[in-house]
Amino acid sequence: MKILFKIIKLTDGEDPDPRFTLANERTFLAWNRTALAILVGAVAFITLSQGKIEKVIADQVFIALILLSIILSVSAIFRWFRIEYALRTKQSLPYPCMAPLLSVFSLILIVFIFIHMK
């Protein structure tokens, strides 16, 4: 817990090059745009899937997309802090764990929808 507060306070190290901080911010905004696009996609899916997929399955896909959107938004915050901390303390950048997770989730969701289309 101490490490989390240390990272969130961003008091260690020195200020990084502003270009890196701004690049980190752009990446943060890109992850949030992705989360927002998934949220919009969830609403579009539930609206357009009526009659093409069973309601129970469409609801499950809708909830899965909403949860993915929430997870991406929250993880974007923590990713921003972890990268900013790494920049300030001149450490290696952390591995982007959400990118592979998003790809795997998307693949599973596409296969699931394809299987259940009428």
Q: pLDDT of 42-63, one tens digit each?
A: 999 999 988 888 889 889 999 9
What is the pTM for the complete model shown? 0.82
Q: Give percent above pLDDT 70 in the chain.
A: 92
Residue 87 near residue 21 (C-beta atoms within 8 A): yes
Question: For residues 112 and 109, what is the distance between their CA atoms, to the nearest angstrom?
Answer: 5
Give rounded-to-5 percent helix, strand, coil for the chain.
Answer: 80, 0, 20
Q: Please count the other Cβ atoms lying within 10 Å of the Cβ belonging to residue 58.
A: 20
pLDDT digits (tens, 9 = 90+) for 63-84: 999 999 999 999 999 899 889 9
Q: Give percent above pLDDT 90 in the chain.
A: 49
pLDDT value at position 109?
Answer: 87
Question: For residues 28 and 43, what is the distance between their CA atoms, to the nearest angstrom?
Answer: 23
Query: So where are the chain's domains?
Result: 16-113
pLDDT value at position 59?
Answer: 92
